[in-house]
């Protein structure tokens, strides 16, 4: 038998005729004219996916003839395959473009696919062009993530716990934003700590360099560092994805809490930090304990100690009464005196132990109370000192003030609003 062969003219498959045999009959064939074929292609290109679509690619073969039209190709590669789409921008559309075109540029083109029958080719007729910068930045951040992950910057085993009772908290953020004010309010309400600001820009060109420098500048001089900024777009948070910032966080000897953007925003700085907080205010709550909770724990510890010692005393007294009831005076009178002596000694030892334990607990509670009172920024006010605040923040130097500034002066009892008439630096006196 002769293998089956494709009959190009009949359009069907059939067996080659045996030598000397008759050829098989062929069905009627339809012959298309070129224009008819072009019309079919036009109909196929009316697919809604090809009308007013967005296409991303790299500009190649750019030509701008004297006619004012613009001709180029969009090239792309996926899974080892390279594809190219010819593009045309008519003169009027080219004059309205908001983005210039250059070979090698990555763009997103908006337009529709059309068939140019005289030339026998299809084109993407482009009406608008925009740079693919945001997409490129997403890809860049993903590339950074893979590189930094390979370096071990996000490894869980490298993350450290936070100190339970920090005395100095560093904040890396903008000095003019609301973030610093929110953190200061939370810390002032929860626990008396010293707040140290390492100022930096938090968005814009070159912000990543400032952020990394601000982190390195404060590292080692505080007990914990908060790196924070408010919410924003992907572009606004972009500096906190930069490898310079991530590596600065991982190089810190001080534990770092990251609070970048809103809860749904996750940056590479968040992944590298020892702990991520959903908001700057939440970061302040995480780094400092609540003094009201600490005082309640002390009260509970004292109650437990008193209850425990009282229970031991009562059990010893019950045991003594039981022994007295079981002893008969006629046979065990000689033992009663010794038991009485032992009981008296036991009572004396128990009383001394109870007194010492209570004294230690009182001393501990007094020490903690003294520490809390000494660290309170309002304690000196009772001795005649005052706190000067401008715009909600304490004034540390006269150089921060200018004549005419309105300030709030907080005394040991009450406060007042005042106006600065004259500023004198101590160095000038």
| pLDDT tens figures, 200-223 | 999 888 899 999 999 999 999 999
Would you list the DSSP string of 261-308?
A: SSTT---HHHHHSSEE-SSHHHHHHHHS--HHHHHHHHHHHHHHHHHH
Look at domain 34-131 and name its CATH class.
mainly beta
Under the banding of pLDDT at 50, 70 and 90, the label for residue 26 is low
Under the banding of pLDDT at 50, 70 and 90, the label for residue 320 is confident
Tokens of 250: 């991982």
**Which of the two residues, 163 and 354, has the higher pLDDT score?**
163
| pLDDT tens figures, 128-172 | 887 776 556 777 888 899 999 999 999 999 999 999 899 999 999
For residue 16, pLDDT over 60 is answered with: no
Strands 256-260 and 106-116 turn out to be unpaired
pLDDT cut 70: percent of the chain above it = 88
Mean pLDDT over 42-59 rounds to 84
| Distance between CA atoms of residues 227 and 304, nearest Å | 40
| Distance between CA atoms of residues 425 and 429, nearest Å | 7
Residue-level pLDDT at 9? 41
Cα 24–Cα 27–Cα 32 angle in degrees, nearest 5: 135
Residue-level pLDDT at 152? 93
Residue-level pLDDT at 202? 92
Under the banding of pLDDT at 50, 70 and 90, the label for residue 254 is very high
DSSP label at residue 112: E
Mean pLDDT over 252-272 rounds to 91
Which of 51, 33, 31 has the alpha carbon at shortest distance from 122? Answer: 51
Mean pLDDT over 373-391 rounds to 75
For residue 6, pLDDT over 60 is answered with: no
**Which of the two residues, 314 and 252, has the higher pLDDT score?**
252
| pLDDT tens figures, 186-198 | 998 888 889 999 9
For residue 25, pLDDT over 60 is answered with: no
Residue-level pLDDT at 327? 64
Which of 47, 7, 52 has the alpha carbon at shortest distance from 29? Answer: 7
Residue-level pLDDT at 12? 43
Residue 418, CA distances (Å) to 381, 402, 405 in order: 18, 13, 8
Q: Which CATH number is 137-287 given? A: 3.40.50
Cα 241–Cα 155–Cα 262 angle in degrees, nearest 5: 40
For residue 1, pLDDT over 50 is answered with: no
| pLDDT tens figures, 55-106 | 888 888 899 999 999 999 998 888 878 889 999 999 999 988 877 788 878 8
For residue 233, pLDDT over 80 is answered with: no
What's the number of CA atoms in the CB half-sphere (13 Å) around residue 92?
Answer: 0
Would you list the DSSP string of 41-86?
A: HHHHTT-GGGSSEEEEEEEEEEE--TTS-EEEEEEEEETTEEEEEE
**Crossing angle for the helix pair 280-287 and 178-190, to the nearest 10 degrees:** 30
Under the banding of pLDDT at 50, 70 and 90, the label for residue 256 is very high
For residue 10, pLDDT over 50 is answered with: no
For residue 11, pLDDT over 50 is answered with: no
| Distance between CA atoms of residues 34 and 52, nearest Å | 27
For residue 262, pLDDT over 50 is answered with: yes
For residue 429, pLDDT over 70 is answered with: no
Residue-level pLDDT at 58? 87
Residue-level pLDDT at 332? 56
* Residue-range domain boundaries for the chain: 34-131, 137-287, 291-375, 381-428
**Which of the two residues, 409 and 29, has the higher pLDDT score?**
409
Which of 87, 82, 57 has the alpha carbon at shortest distance from 72? Answer: 87
| Mean pLDDT, the chain, integer | 83
For residue 18, pLDDT over 70 is answered with: no
Residue-level pLDDT at 14? 43
E strand or H helix at 224, and its extent?
strand 224-229
């Amino acid at each position: 038998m002769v293998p089956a062969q494709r009959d190009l003219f009949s359009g069907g498959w059939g067996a080659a005729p045996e030598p000397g045999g008759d050829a098989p009959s062929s069905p009627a064939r339809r012959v298309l004219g070129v224009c008819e074929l072009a019309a079919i292609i036009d109909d196929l290109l009316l697919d809604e996916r090809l009308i007013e679509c967005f296409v991303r690619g790299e500009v190649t073969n750019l030509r701008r003839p004297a006619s004012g039209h613009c001709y180029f190709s969009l090239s792309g590669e996926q899974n080892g395959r390279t594809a190219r789409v010819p593009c045309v921008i008519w003169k009027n559309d080219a004059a309205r473009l908001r983005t210039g075109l250059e070979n090698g540029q990555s763009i997103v083109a908006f337009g529709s696919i059309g068939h140019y029958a005289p030339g026998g080719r299809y084109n993407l007729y482009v009406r608008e062009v925009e740079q693919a910068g945001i997409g490129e930045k997403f890809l860049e951040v993903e590339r950074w993530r893979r590189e930094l992950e390979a370096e071990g910057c996000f490894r869980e085993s490298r993350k450290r716990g936070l100190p339970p009772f920090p005395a100095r908290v560093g904040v890396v953020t903008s000095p003019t934003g609301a973030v610093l004010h929110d953190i200061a309010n939370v810390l002032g309400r929860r626990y008396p700590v010293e707040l140290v600001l390492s100022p930096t820009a938090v968005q814009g060109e070159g912000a990543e360099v400032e952020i990394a420098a601000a982190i390195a500048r404060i590292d080692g001089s505080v007990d914990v560092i908060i790196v924070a900024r408010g919410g924003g777009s992907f572009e606004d948070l972009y500096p906190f994805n930069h490898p310079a910032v991530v590596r600065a966080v991982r190089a810190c000897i001080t534990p770092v809490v990251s609070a970048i953007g809103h809860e749904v925003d996750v940056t590479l700085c968040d992944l590298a930090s020892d702990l991520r907080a959903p908001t700057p205010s939440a970061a302040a709550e995480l780094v400092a304990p609540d003094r009201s909770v600490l005082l309640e724990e002390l009260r509970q510890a004292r109650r437990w100690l008193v209850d425990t010692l009282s229970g031991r005393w009562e059990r010893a007294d019950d045991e003594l009464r039981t022994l007295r009831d079981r002893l008969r005076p006629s046979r065990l009178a000689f033992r009663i005196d010794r038991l009485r002596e032992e009981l008296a000694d036991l009572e004396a030892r128990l009383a001394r132990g109870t007194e010492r334990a209570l004294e230690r607990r009182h001393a501990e509670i007094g020490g903690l109370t003294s520490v809390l009172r000494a660290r309170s920024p309002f304690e000196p006010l009772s001795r005649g000192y005052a706190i000067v605040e401008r715009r909600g923040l304490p004034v540390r130097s006269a150089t921060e003030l200018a004549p005419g500034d309105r300030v709030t002066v907080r005394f040991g009892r009450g406060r007042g609003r005042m106006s600065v008439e004259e500023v004198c630096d101590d160095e000038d006196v």
